[in-house]
Amino acid sequence: MKKFVIIVAGGSGSRMCSALPKQFLELCGKPVLMHTIGLFFDFDPECELILVLPASQQDYWADLCLKYTFPLPHQIVSGGETRFHSVQNGLKLIQEEGIVFIHDGVRPLVSLQTIQRCNLMAQKNGNAIPVLPINESLRKQKGLQSVSVDRTLYLSVQTPQTFRSDQILKAYEQDFDAAFTDDASVAEKAGFPIFMVEGNRENIKITTPTDLIVAEAFLQKKIKK
């Protein structure tokens, strides 16, 4: 089945305390975003790669591709006002049936096993999201006080959130809702039950300087294997 990958990379460097958007920061010798794109090419060299970038960052990305001799073919579309609108723009390039992976550009450590689990579940049931159990204790805030909650009832959600094209295209015909936190919440509001697969702990979203240090350590360990 044809595979499409929409990689959303619209972040800034604010929480990184950096003027450079986090997807362009160097990680083990090349920009974070290049690691991320490469993972999906490794999974399936025939997948169609769609990169969603703010229009203001596209020339800089083109310069980076030249600087690092980045060879992987990909289409670029402009981001929108919100992540919802950015994904919507990426989906406009999908004109045939297939499996659609929607992934954060700053998650360069998703495993090939996680991607394959998402792929197989989406082919079987229409969609899949990678999740992990919560290790920390959780508390629910109630004013200035808080109450404990059962952490076994909750899961941490990652990407790639993966869908059959007919499902996700239909879901994104909806109007924007501020309650949408990810693609699964969009599909869920459209009436689709959401299926889960096991994620991988290394699949962190790089948003802070500490995350970049952790990702570097994970990648160095991976390279040494």
How many domains does the structure of the chain reveal? 1
Q: Does 12 score more than 60 pLDDT?
A: no
Q: Count of alpha carbons within 13 Å of 173, Cβ hemisphere only?
A: 7
Give the type of residue at 207: T
Assess whether the previous peptide bond of 160 is cis (omega < 30° from 0): yes
Domain CATH code at residue 152: 3.90.550.10
pLDDT at 18: 65
pLDDT at 221: 83
Q: Name the DSSP letter for residue 82.
A: S
What does the CA dihedral 111, 115, 120, 126 come to, rounded to 10 degrees?
140
126-146 pLDDT per residue, tens: 999 999 999 999 999 999 999
pTM equals: 0.95
DSSP-based three-state secondary structure for 108: coil
171-208 pLDDT per residue, tens: 999 999 999 999 999 999 999 999 999 999 999 999 99
Please give the residue range of the domain that contains residue 210.
3-224
38-59 pLDDT per residue, tens: 999 999 999 999 999 999 999 9
62-83 pLDDT per residue, tens: 999 999 999 999 999 999 999 9
